Amino acid sequence: MTARPHYLPEGLPIPVAEPDGLSAPHWAGLRRNELSIQCCEKCSTWQWGPEWICHACHSFDVAWKPVRPEGRIYSWTRVWHPTHDALTNHGPYIVVVVELPHAGNVRVIGNLVGDVHQPVAIGTPVTGVFEHHNDADPAHSLLQWKVSGAAD
């Protein structure tokens, strides 16, 4: 695994599965460079965020399926005001909502890596970048995004 600089500084809350384990497969998937999203075994409806039931057909047989980490920017913001101690003096950063055409257009939230001052346009194709926090406790991984075709 190539070590990448983390987009945001250490010290932000670390994602973990709930006590009931609902989202555990998603976080485990990111550790092995896989985006896992829920898809109903019965009616094939994609669903995000995770839930114990398929909202379309009410089947409890909701599977986790790997999804190619490619999407489009559905919305975004550039955050300037730090609201967490770990972000004090860090400067602006970009948050994107990414629509996933390979998963029924469900959306995920992440950061757009690269120049924090870059212009951002809704509809821009983006590619996933797995960001591993191996030294964190607990170790975890995030899924970030870069404009498709842009250098890593």
Partner 1 sequence: MDERTLRGKTAVAGIGETTYYKHGKSPDSEFKLALMAILNACADAGIDPREIDGFSSYSNDRNEPPRLAAALGCKELRFSNMQWGGGGGGGAAAAANAAAAIATGMADCVVVYRSLAQGQFARFGRSAPVKTISGEGALSIPYGAMTPAQRYSMKAMRFIHDHGIKQEALRAIALASYQHAQKNPRAVMYGRPLDEEKYDNSRWISEPFHLYDCCQENDGAAAMILVSAERARDLRQKPAYLLGAAAGGPYRAAATAGNTPDFGSSHFKTVAPHLYAMAKVAPKDIDVVQSYENFTGGVLMSLVEHGLFEAEEANEVLTLPNLVAGSGKLPLNTSGGNLAECYMHGLELHTEAVRQLRGASCNQVKDADVALVIAGPMVTPVSTAIYGSEAALG
Judged by the rule CB under 8 A, the positions of this chain that interact with partner 1 are 8, 12-19, 22-23, 27, 48-49, 55, 74-81, 83-85, 87, 92-93, 95, 97, 106-111, 122, 138, 140, 142, 144
Query: How many whole angstroms separate alpha carbon 92 and alpha carbon 80?
Result: 4
Closer CB to partner 1, residue 109 or residue 150?
109
Residue 61 beta carbon to partner 1: minimum distance, rounded to whole angstroms:
20
The residue with tokens 């094939």 is 44
Contact status, residue 19 vs residue 144, Cβ threshold 8 Å: no
Amino acid letter, residue 60: F
- Nearest CA-CA partner of 82 in 12, 33, 144, 1: 12
Radius of gyration of the chain (CA): 16
What is the CB-side half-sphere exposure of residue 75 using CA atoms within 13 A?
3
Residue 112 beta carbon to partner 1: minimum distance, rounded to whole angstroms:
10
Amino acid letter, residue 55: H
Residue 17 beta carbon to partner 1: minimum distance, rounded to whole angstroms:
6
